[in-house]
Structure 1
Amino acid sequence: MPINNPENKQENSKCGFVAIVGAPNAGKSTLMNALVGQKISIVSQKIQTTRFPVRGIIMQDNAQIIFIDTPGVFNPKQRLDRAMVASVWTGARDADLIVHVVDAGLAQKFGKSGLPKGEEKALEDIERTEAGIKSQNKNTLLLLNKIDTVPKHELLDLAQSFAQKEIYKEILFVSALQEDGLEELKQCLGKYLPESPFLYPEDQASDIPLRLMAAEITREKVFHRLHDELPYNANVETDNWKELKDGSVRIDQTLYVGREGHKAIAIGKNGQTLKWISSQARHELMRELEREVHLFLHVKVKDNWQEDSRHYTARGLDYKA
């Protein structure tokens, strides 16, 4: 939770929330991690990997910028999908500034035929009065990401096609993966934030609970290994977190899948797949926590886990969305 600490108040200080929105796989999580300088959101080639708003915090001169990495904008069908998309616009309504991230390489491929459906969907929702965004005159910035994949002259044409929508305060160009243009982005964000004392300690990089962070790291490894074989609705929960006397931590987790066949895939021949996932997750957790980690990962079949409200409340999602 934010800490409104008087000691954090500085003369002429600024602080505010920046919602990062856009279509799936636009590079939002990669951007968040690059801006913060450490792993905050999981990254996967599987679309809709981010499932709930994740906050990353940075200092830029006299400004504390609190980023909200939101799930991708898409047409929701199932309960989890609806909750994810609802969280996008909740985050946008509550933010001081909105950054619409677009995959410049994907958008450029459509040329004069129009924008990709995901971007049209994002634009429509950003413009919706009922979302409380346009009516509040919020500052919205367009961020063309992955500019290393598009010739410069074509980037200008692409920027112009978005500028015609007349909803963006500024248009910026970055490559989150190459960390190109990030300083310019941070400076631009800082100037639009309201004057305010800092809400978090200056050395804090995120407010995600450790148990949830651990589950997300393991889920990322699952998708890295099994992105073609395992459905997107697989889930990881941290069941137990025990601090040990020697300073290490024991973490027990469950990977939930929908079918017995998916369980067999997740475990692999002689348990090799599950061992790989556990090993990769454990090593990353050790780097993040800076101590020894004992990770125990199990696989269970639970075809209706998306109907369990506990999975939603733990992630700040609205079960009834």
Structure 2
Amino acid sequence: MVTKLKRFLIGRPMKSHELANEKLSKLKALAVLSSDALSSVAYGTEQILLVLITMGAVALWYSIPISFAVLGLLAILILSYRQTIYAYPMGGGAYIVAKDNLGTTVGLVAGGSLLVDYILTVAVSTSAATDAITSAFPVLHEHRVIIALLMILTVTILNLRGITESATILMYPVYLFVFAVFLLIIGGIYQWMTGNAHVQPPVYGAAVPGITLFLLLRAFSSGCSALTGVEAVSNAIPNFREPASKNAARTLIMMGFILGAMFIGISLLAYVFGIAPKADETVVSQITATVFGRGIIYYFIQAVTALILFLAANTAFAAFPLL
């Protein structure tokens, strides 16, 4: 009975020669390795606003320059990891690069920090997914821990079945999420340009009494949570089909363009519609409700957002063992 249940959940054991069939195409790799990075736009802007709101709503305009600073850092990371991919075709994560150039001790510190980061990625992604669900259905707020644990269990089973199967499953929600976010951005821009945004945003450039450089840097560092998972592609080059380095580099560039456009789009909409963070509703939920109302499109975007955040934990499952 136990054996039959195991086979049903994770499939039969794979032979060594079947490993080649587990290699990923660019489209599948973008799904399985970029889900963490792409999904982070659901909470990256919110993390900036959570810091700024401590100085009052007048300080929320700082989210725009901070978001562009994060976007600049993303460009630097993408270009750096692209070079790393070609320099370390067997997988060039922070551990290998630091070890080869700065010594074993520094390499172990970098590798150890990434291992911790991957574990926290699972926690943050599933928690954010739970927040997206409870924003749409507040009655589930008291059950958020159970919901998060069930998510982790499901992703674990998916990965035990094999990386190709998990990538095939991941493709659909990842690309649905990208479509949903761009739909939200286009809809928000339309509402703003047609004068339907009836909320007065914080005055850009307004003086904020008591604002400090430390607080702005704190907001910037919080906003950098939108960059989580960018390194996964360079860590997982052996998972790509040949030519592995070329395919990995192209996947990284695609991910960078999509991530940057979605992140800056969400940040601009949050400013235009005067969105402030709430304890019981995410920023993305507030923007969606403002642009489309709480109808079918709202629940579609919330559902896809929750699903991609739930599956974003898969990046850790894919890259952690290789690291």
Pairwise same-fold verdict (TM > 0.5): no
Q: Which is bigger in relative contact order (C-alpha 8 A, separation at least 6)?
A: 2
Bigger helix share: 2
TM-score interval, smaller chain: under 0.3
Bigger strand share: 1
TM-score by length of 1: 0.24
